[in-house]
Amino acid sequence: MTERLAGDGSDGWGTLFEAWQARNRGEDVIILAIGDPDFGTPEPIVDAAVDALRAGDTHYAEIVGRPKLRELVAARFSAQTGRAWGPEHVMPFAGTQNALFAASLCLLEAGDEVIAFDPMYLTYDATLRAGGADLTRLALDADDGFRIDADLLAGAINPATQAVVLNTPNNPTGAVASVEELEGVAELARRHDLWVIADEVYSELVFEGTHTSMAALDGMAERTVTVSSLSKSHAMTGWRIGWAVAPPRLIGHFNDLGMAMAYGLPGFIQAAAAEALATQDTAVDEMRAIYRRRRDLAAEALAGIDGIDVLVPQAGMYLMVDVRSLPASDDGFAWDLFRSTGVSVVDAGGFGPASDGWLRLSFTESDENLVEGCRRLRDYIASLR
């Protein structure tokens, strides 16, 4: 069990952890390895939490979540999908990761198989296998922009398959699945009676294209668990607040699991989340515009470098760089870059074999740090020649 909790790819955070320590020592480092917004949480959200605390909201809250927050999540998801969802379909969790973990424990058990597309977020491996399920990873084609391939999925489904995990907009690639790509997965889920666990945490940060929720497609509402949060869209990573939207029966199982785990989320955190959903759409629009500008800054700074390709994302807060043609030590290019320049990025091979030889750069740093980090990367690549 403890070995499963480590998960494949957990070493991908190595340069980040080292960079944090170096920064604490006062060293010159630039951290482009984590998707933690550099914005402060919008002030009205903070005020809502403080007001709730001062009003004495420090006691147990409903395990399944406060009605107001559940209603707001349901209303937003209804607007996004064009389908009616009520509070009975919603349960708040301590972030998307916690909601995904709950889904894996309630839907999968030893002997079951769950399928996910590579590259996938680093913690998926441990999260999906925690209850003993087997994880099958399907490598997407880097040269095709890591687009979802329903034919690849069709060839992998077998009698043990119980669920498919879908992350769109994707981390790390920034790809936004088209309706046609989603329909290909949905048709297979309906035909084989599979659950789809849809991670849509970056749905508010789309620059090009249109995000479509899997649960919006015909016949998918009753077999889809959609997990998301306010971490990225509202600069609330440290607040640990997210949710799952699912059929009411599954929400009941989540409630039972919640009794054995967190026993409900703090009321003042839920008050802050309700404020975020009710009043802060303009703040999200402003953040999205900044991320888009930073994406373009990074893409421009890395353009025209011989030997690399840049995958410009449609959404999210990361940019992928193909360094497969460049030399690297046994530790990998990301470590070589950090030791030589102080720039910390993620070796995207940690997201799965499909992205071996790629780097993931976050553009959640300031414009100045982002451009300087890209300049150091450019100079380092030039030094290799």
Give the gyration radius of the chain's Cα atoms. Answer: 21
Helix axes 281-302, 367-383, angle to 10 degrees: 20
Burial 151-178 (b: 16+ CB within 10 A, else e): eebeeebeeebbbbbbbbbbbbbbbbbe
> Is residue 58 pLDDT above 80, yes or no?
yes
**Helix or strand (DSSP H, E) at 163:** strand 161-167
Report d(CA 286, CA 289) in Å as an integer. 5
| pTM of the shown model | 0.94
Range of weakest confidence among 4-8, 39-43, 133-137, 210-214 = 4-8
Task: Pick the closest to residue 100 from 194, 228, 224, 262 (CA basis).
Answer: 228
pLDDT tens digit string along 320-357?
Answer: 999 999 999 989 999 999 999 999 999 999 999 999 99
> Is residue 17 pLDDT above 90, yes or no?
no
> Is residue 4 pLDDT above 80, yes or no?
no
Q: What is the per-residue pLDDT for 3? A: 58
> Is residue 22 pLDDT above 90, yes or no?
no
Ordered by where they begin, the domains of the chain are 2-41+282-383 (3.90.1150.10), 48-279 (3.40.640.10)
Q: What is the per-residue pLDDT for 7? A: 56
Report d(CA 46, CA 39) in Å as an integer. 13
Asked if residue 4 lies in contact with residue 134, where contact means CB atoms within 8 angstroms, the answer is no
Query: Which alpha helices (DSSP H) does 280-359 contain, by range?
Result: 281-302, 333-341
What's the average model confidence in pLDDT over 214-226?
Answer: 98
